[in-house]
Chains A and B, each alone.
Chain A
Amino acid sequence: MKKPFFGLTRPKLAYSGIDDTGPDIQEIPVPERIFFSRQIKKGEGPTISRGQEVRTGQRLRPLEDMRVCVTATATGVIGDVSVETDYSGRTTLSMSIETEPKDRWDPEFEQAGISAQSEDVLSYLSALPGISDLIPLVRRENPLDTILVSGFDRDLLTATNQLSLKTGAGNLARGIEIMKQMTGVNRVMVAAPPSLASEAERGGVEVRIQNPLYPGADPRLLVRSILGTTVLPSRPLTDVNVGVVSAEGVIAMGRAFQDQRPPVSKLLTVIGKDNRPVAVRARIGTPVGHLLNTLHIEVSGGDRLVLGGPMAGKGIYSVDVPVGPDTDAVMVQDKDHVIPPSSEPCINCGECVRACPARVPVNMLIRLLENGLFEEAAQQYDLLSCIECGLCSYVCMMRIPIFHYIMLGKHELALSGYLEESHG
């Protein structure tokens, strides 16, 4: 992971493939307790209470609000339920299920005869991998032009999506068909690396084989290279009538309709301290600590725990954080490998500018961000063009936490209402 000896060009970071994890998927047993959380509007009280029995696959409605549904991913009884508002004003509903070792499946999905066109189909799919990418694509009155099904993983050392495609290609065509009905979109394409070309073909739609270097599998970069369209990254791709979903999500949907059971588990890559990725399947809501225990990965104070991969994952501070429908990887970094950021100034070496796939003038941007000039940063130095890949921080020889500053800038702009104004 070092800078190569010859340094004339931008860094070349290759994505990992299935070769790195191996083809085996280890099943993680259902933990004693699983957790869920949902961001909700302030002031709503939960309608679900401790002690209520739930079955695997049951659609729970913890609030009056019909849009907040949670799939119970195991059988058991409801444990704690709480609603809390954090320092940034976000309100979160959290609850847990004390599980039983044996699954009893809830029959509602099958009995209700849910189809792709059902009004509330999405409410049964809250544990579908990549569901947050799918929801905005369902615009029945005004369907999108194109949906791209990505067979790539977004971060390094991660092979979750590729492994899903490899092992689940049989459900790809069904998943695509359901997605077409659900969204009304006619043009669907599958993008995949060369090693998965034959699996991608099984979707029965147009296939684009690409061999990207990091961060080329980012949805916006994929759309740019395959469809030739872009939109300012602070706006959703649906603005240009394009959607990107993961192959894993589409396959899981195909499987759900095949089995008549909603998805409850997720494939993920666990990256241990030795940087060796392992593929596992776990129930959504499994605490990270349970994964690590099962895999005999020990963690101790000073280590780093990350949901996601090494370039753009999110740092977490507790082993109780659950695996969510968007968690493609869990990474543990040994304390000896933690590289502390610095408070040094930028020396204008230009490495970041060379590395940035979005052509952001990072060397100038960082000067404004360090001084809290967020609006100027957006107006003059393309803060909003950043696709959040982390390469700038990766190459900065002064070890400035550039990516952190960028996210801070975007956060501040969102709070100040600047984004709505400028897009208005």
Chain B
Amino acid sequence: MDNPTLFVSSHAPYWHNGTRLSVKNCHIMIAALPAVIMGIYQYGAPALGVVALSVAAAMIWEFLMNLVLRRPVSIGDGSAALTGLIFAMLLPATTPWWTVVLGAFLAIVVAKQIYGGIGCNPLNPALVAIAIIFLSWQGIVDFDEALADYDLGFVMAYPLTALKYFGTSAISDFSAADLLMGRHAGAIGATFALGLLAGGIYLMLRGMIRWEISLSFLAGVFVTALLFYLADSQKYAGPLFHLLTGYTLIGAFFLATEDSSSPVNFIPMLIYGACAGILTVLIRNIGAFVDGTVFAILMMNVANPLIDKIRPKALGGGMKHA
């Protein structure tokens, strides 16, 4: 003890696999980029403006809330930026600036910070924001109306609206290739199906999102749409159409998979994803709204705490205990 060396002592384990939230959020943003870049390419500066403003506003709201609540500054973890990016992806390029700022406020402050910040939000923040905007100012997110002035050399219509109001005959204008390449009207980051798929597959393989949720969501959409289609192919669109339009793909890979509002156990993940997929198509086909993804996922967010109680028995559980 003559020459004490001060060691750092702490509890095991002494190794860590090196993951970090900021890195994960970075990867998710990178995976979203192909779809975003396509949106910016198609709609030009206004789309870029919406994306930039949304990301910036989300980060500023987060920072302000950190100050108000006297919590450590958390914009470094990338969560606010990611929420801002995803919210922007759901908007049409023509969204006015105040809507973007308001939406970022709804997402960050109302849907996340007042519940206690990251990890405590029961609902997906970006979805809360888009749902409130949608219910309050429908015109802004009506893609046909909003994008009426654009002529990009392809059918400038929102496929789901066409389907809802003009039936299956109206959607024959959209080939699968058009849908995959984003050659139709829609949100900035939700039309380029191929880009979203690439991003989603990347995230699933890297373990950045829970693949069980994404795949069961897509399966839910596919099977339900198929059943409708088989029942009446005149009235209802086929499953591929549903998979490639609206918010389906962004929902599967970027919305339903939000950590805090989705389950972590295997069976609950499947139930959650599949039910969200089923509800999406039900709302589209027989509900009041053009696209059902937003409300379907929000509904399952609400059900999440209950579903996630279904879990395997822990080691030694079920024995005489407590």
Residues of A within 8 A of B (CB): 1-3, 5-8, 11, 156, 220, 224, 230-233, 235, 299-306, 308, 310-320, 331, 333, 335, 338-341, 344-351, 353-354, 357-361, 363, 378-379, 382, 384-385, 387, 390-391, 393-395, 397-399, 401, 403-404, 407, 422-423
Contacts and interface: CB of A to CB of B under 8 A. Distances in A.
B312 A359 contact: yes
B315 A5 contact: no
B319 interface: yes
Contacts of B206: 5-7
Contacts of B16: 1, 339, 393-394, 399
Interface string B259-285: 110111100000000000000000000
Contacts of B21: 344, 347, 397-398
B59 to A, nearest CB: 18
Interface in B9-58: 9-21, 23-24
A182 to B, nearest CB: 28
B118 A345 contact: yes
A301 B10 contact: no
A302 B11 contact: no
B26 to A, nearest CB: 12
Given A6-B207, A404-B10, A394 B17 contact: yes
Contact of B11 (A319, A378, A404, A422): A404
Given A230-B315, A350-B210, A397-B24, A301 B5 contact: yes
A401 B312 CA distance: 24
A384 B120 CA distance: 25
19 contacts: A3-B19, A7-B207, A303-B8, A312-B12, A315-B9, A345-B120, A347-B259, A348-B262, A349-B264, A351-B19, A353-B264, A357-B315, A361-B311, A363-B264, A382-B317, A394-B15, A394-B17, A399-B20, A401-B11
Given A359-B315, A384-B321, A299 B5 contact: yes
B9 A317 contact: yes
Nearest to B22: A397
B319 A232 contact: yes
A360 B317 CA distance: 10
A8 B11 contact: no
A370 to B, nearest CB: 11
A-B interface, 10 closest residue pairs, ranked by CB to CB distance from nearest:
A7-B207, A350-B264, A232-B316, A404-B11, A385-B314, A390-B13, A382-B314, A358-B315, A397-B19, A315-B9
Contacts of B208: 7
Contact of A403 (B13, B120, B315): B13
Contacts of B9: 304-305, 315-317
A422 B321 contact: yes
Contact of B10 (A1, A308, A315): A315
- Residue in B117, B204, B317 whose Cβ sees the most chain A Cβ within 10 Å: B317
Given A231-B319, A233-B315, A350-B259, A318 B4 contact: yes
Contacts of A347: 21, 118-119, 259-260
Interface string B294-322: 00000000000000000111111101111
A378 B314 CA distance: 11
A31 to B, nearest CB: 15
Contacts of B260: 347-348
A350 B17 CA distance: 15
Main secondary structure of the interface of B (DSSP, over half): loop
A353 B263 CA distance: 11
Contacts of A6: 205-207
Nearest to B203: A7
Contacts, number: 195
B218 to A, nearest CB: 16
Main secondary structure of the interface of A (DSSP, over half): loop
Contacts of A7: 205-208
B211 A2 contact: no
Given A2-B18, A5-B206, A397-B21, A385 B315 contact: yes
A2 B7 contact: no
Nearest to A387: B315
B117 A345 contact: yes
Nearest to B4: A318
B135 interface: no
Contacts of B231: none
A335 B8 CA distance: 8
A299 B4 CA distance: 11
B1 interface: yes
A341 B10 contact: yes
Contacts of A399: 16, 20
- Residue in B6, B7, B210 whose Cβ sees the most chain A Cβ within 10 Å: B7
Given A299-B5, A304-B7, A318-B7, 11 more contacts: A3-B17, A232-B319, A306-B14, A316-B9, A318-B1, A345-B120, A347-B118, A351-B19, A385-B317, A395-B17, A401-B10
A336 to B, nearest CB: 11
A422 B6 CA distance: 41
B6 A301 contact: yes
A359 B8 contact: no
B321 A232 contact: yes
B90 to A, nearest CB: 22
- Residue in B16, B263, B265 whose Cβ sees the most chain A Cβ within 10 Å: B16
A407 B311 CA distance: 23
Nearest to A315: B9
A232 B317 contact: yes
Contact of A349 (B5, B259, B319, B320): B259
Contact of B13 (A312, A398, A423): A312
Nearest to B320: A423
Contacts of B311: 359, 361
A1 B18 CA distance: 8
B264 A8 contact: no
A211 B45 CA distance: 58
A119 B210 CA distance: 58
Nearest to A393: B13
B228 to A, nearest CB: 32
B119 A346 contact: yes
B259 A348 contact: yes
Contacts of A349: 24, 259, 264
Contacts of B15: 1, 156, 310-311, 339, 394
